[in-house]
Amino acid sequence: MPNLLYDTLFAPLAARQRPVLTLQDGRSLDGPAFLAMVHRAAHALAAAGVGPGDRVAVQVAKTPQALAVYGGTVALGAVFLPLNTAYTPGEVGYFVENAAPRLLLADPESATALAPVAEAHGARLMTLDPAGAGSFADAMAAARPEFSPVARAAGDLAAILYTSGTTGRSKGAMLSHGNLLSNAETLVAAWAFTADDVLLHALPIFHTHGLFVATNVALLSGAGMIFQPGFDVDAVLAALPRASAMMGVPTFYTRLLAHPGFDRAQAAHMRLFISGSAPLLAETHAAFEARTGHRILERYGMTETNMNTSNPYDGPRRPGTVGPALPGVEVAVTDPATGAPLPTGEVGMVEVRGPNVFQGYWRMPDKTAEDMRESGFFITGDLGCLDDEGYLTIVGRQKDMVISGGYNVYPREVEEVLDALPGVAESAVIGLPHPDLGEAVFAVLAAAPGQAPDPAAIDAALRGQLAGFKRPKGYAVVPALPRNTMGKVQKAELRRTHAGHFGAEV
């Protein structure tokens, strides 16, 4: 019986003798070997009481076995729920309570702390460690390497991914087999992936970028993966000559540029570098091209939609933009207050519609109704503008927009000016309570190596470049900006840290 994702991503592995995963220690798994691991994972899940439609919560290190659990969950017709490995037991408790998984798979080191969480919410707890051992690994080893997949159609749920929860509680985005497959098919074509490619995979697999973009694209196209447990700049440099493509967050590229061993020769075998999950500085784009001859391809996606837009594989890749809409995806920019379409060049709410858009938020029908229009457009919460060729520029999140003295200030516009100034490695612009303005623009500056940015000099430099209401009313200089595991600057943390700067009540 048909199982949409299994049939397209995993079943073809049976005939693939080339390496699917090449590990950091040099070992590799070909198609039949990895497919057998997927089948064993499916049997182990079923033996643990997991059935079609049940949720499988997974908080484990990136290993071939962990990836096989994803495949096994798909084969069984269950719903995969990956969790950030940095989450505390208390945070995991929220997800387990909300999603009610049948199984919670965790690292053995976390098992003692997570046992009460699992017990309180009726989940079975099993373990899988970074070496591929644990009670679940034992169950896999005892299982048969053949499995008959459970029937699943395009509309059936394949995964729930929780949003980062920067405002309010995290929301579980429900992604169907059709959502995931449609996006993988689009990206394989848009980025020209084939079975001749080898993807350098250093991203985590608890996030849509590493799991549903990188992994699904490689599996669907037949590309191999150099499967690294995380981003280690020396390991990535060593692997680059054996790869043809790499997907990363901007931090990957800045760290490569900071390494003296990274040069044009190291990147000579590559055909494509892709960046996402956080904005790529135009300076990084230019420096990378100067060093390697490669223009990084930047794209735009979300947990709820996977990828929406992309700079073209063949065609202009414009720094500061995330390209036009992908085939089959519609992008609109609307008035945040009325929902009316805005003219080209005007900043407004980014909305998207297409087969990639999720099914709604798990157990949050009111929030789903709030963010989804009857027309099928999803209100992303991102602010941006389209140019006359359809290229989208993201200027920030609506919740990050600063309203100072009644004027709207888009942080990205101010950050781009600050980032270009001497001594500033990067910046984050936030709004803080202000007794007169209501909210004032505040800039947090990360110092460039060996530099000490002078706020007074920076303020003077801005006077000829930004209107007065856009210029920061205060500054802080820090060694580095706080980021999450996917490289996104944590502006909520910055707002908490600096909340009392202007002496206004929070």
**CA–CA gap between residue 128 and residue 58 (Å, rounded):** 9
Task: Indicate if the pLDDT at residue 85 is higher than 60.
Answer: yes
**CA–CA gap between residue 334 and residue 316 (Å, rounded):** 26
Class of domain 401-497 (CATH, top level): alpha beta
Predicted pLDDT of residue 164: 66
Q: Are the C-beta atoms of 309 and 322 separated by less than 8 Å?
A: yes
3-state secondary structure of 265: coil
Q: How many CB atoms lie within 10 A of CB 132?
A: 18
What DSSP string describes 172-215? Answer: EEEEEHHHHHHHHHHHHHHTT--TT-EEEE-S-SSSHIIIIIII
**CA–CA gap between residue 278 and residue 218 (Å, rounded):** 22
Quickly state the pLDDT bin for 167 (edges 50, 70, 90): very low
Compute the average pLDDT of residues 383-390: 96
CB within 8 A of 369, min separation 6: which ones?
none
Identity of residue 397: R
DSSP state of 14: G
**CA–CA gap between residue 302 and residue 335 (Å, rounded):** 20
3-state secondary structure of 394: strand
Task: Indicate if the pLDDT at residue 133 is higher than 80.
Answer: yes
- Phi-psi sector, 203: left (phi>0), alpha (psi -120 to 50), beta: beta
What DSSP string describes 157-184? Answer: EEEEEE---SSSS--EEEEEHHHHHHHH
Q: Which two tokens stand for residue 134?
A: 């644990």
Could you give the percent of the chain with pLDDT greater than 70?
Answer: 98
CB within 8 A of 138, min separation 6: which ones?
none
**CA–CA gap between residue 300 and residue 308 (Å, rounded):** 6
Question: At residue 451, what are phi and psi to the nearest 5 degrees?
Answer: -115, 160
DSSP state of 9: I
**CA–CA gap between residue 108 and residue 60 (Å, rounded):** 9
240-281 residue pLDDT tens: 999 999 999 888 998 999 999 999 999 999 999 999 987 888
Quickly state the pLDDT bin for 169 (edges 50, 70, 90): confident
- Architecture of 191-295 per CATH? 3-Layer(aba) Sandwich (3.40)
291-341 residue pLDDT tens: 999 999 999 999 999 999 999 999 999 998 999 999 999 999 999 999 999
CATH topology identical between 4-152 and 401-497: no
Question: At residue 382, what are phi and psi to the nearest 5 degrees?
Answer: -95, 145
Task: Indicate if the pLDDT at residue 1 is higher than 80.
Answer: no
The three-point CA angle 503-505-506 to 5° equals: 115
The CA-atom distances, in angstroms, between 35 and each of 6, 152, 213, 228, 415 are: 10, 18, 20, 19, 47
208-245 residue pLDDT tens: 999 999 999 999 999 999 999 999 999 999 999 999 99
Quickly state the pLDDT bin for 497 (edges 50, 70, 90): very high
Compute the average pLDDT of residues 388-408: 86
Lowest mean pLDDT among 44-53, 210-219, 362-371, 457-466: 457-466
The CA-atom distances, in angstroms, between 247 and each of 217, 313, 361, 393 are: 11, 14, 27, 20
Q: Are the C-beta atoms of 220 and 212 separated by less than 8 Å?
A: no
Q: In what order do the strands lie in the sheet with 55-59?
A: 124-127, 103-106, 55-59, 79-82, 157-162, 172-176
Report, in angstroms and rounded to the nearest whole number, the Rg of the chain calculated over CA atoms: 23
DSSP state of 425: E
**CA–CA gap between residue 102 and residue 10 (Å, rounded):** 23
CB within 8 A of 131, min separation 6: which ones?
63
What's the topology of domain 4-152? Answer: Rossmann fold (3.40.50)
Each domain of the chain, given as residue ranges in start order, spans 4-152, 191-295, 401-497
Burial status of residue 206 (CB atoms within 10 A of its CB: 0-12, 13-18, 19 or more): buried
More confident residue, 355 or 416: 355
Q: Are the C-beta atoms of 164 and 143 separated by less than 8 Å?
A: no
Quickly state the pLDDT bin for 166 (edges 50, 70, 90): very low
